């Protein structure tokens, strides 16, 4: 499994457990790995998941930007 997918899976576990701030850090790390790996779908999935975390943390403007980025990458 590539690094981006490994880190993304860790971020997903954090998000599912409610550790949204920790998940955001891991999604950022996964995003960098996906960019290095040229994984456009991974970049879109990270943006979408970051939007979910940001929304649940009440950071609505940032969430909207993350969702917009995900839509552009889709």
Mean pLDDT of the chain: 96
> What CATH number belongs to 3-73?
1.25.40
The confidence score (pLDDT) of residue 39 equals 95
Statement: residue 1 has pLDDT above 90: no
> 32-67, pLDDT tens digit by residue?
999 999 999 999 999 999 999 999 999 999 999 999
Per-residue confidence band for 21, with pLDDT thresholds at 50, 70 and 90: very high
Q: Which helix (H) or strand (E) holds 45?
A: helix 40-56
Determine the Cα angle at 21 with ends 36 and 6, to 5°.
35
Per-residue confidence band for 3, with pLDDT thresholds at 50, 70 and 90: very high
């Amino acid at each position: 499994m590539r690094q981006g997918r490994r880190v993304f899976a860790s971020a997903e576990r954090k998000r599912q457990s409610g550790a949204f701030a920790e998940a955001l850090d891991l999604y950022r790390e996964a995003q960098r790995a996906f960019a290095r790996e040229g994984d456009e779908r991974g970049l879109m999935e990270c943006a979408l998941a970051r939007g979910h975390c940001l929304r649940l943390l009440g950071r609505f403007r940032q969430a909207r930007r993350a969702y917009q980025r995900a839509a552009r990458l889709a």
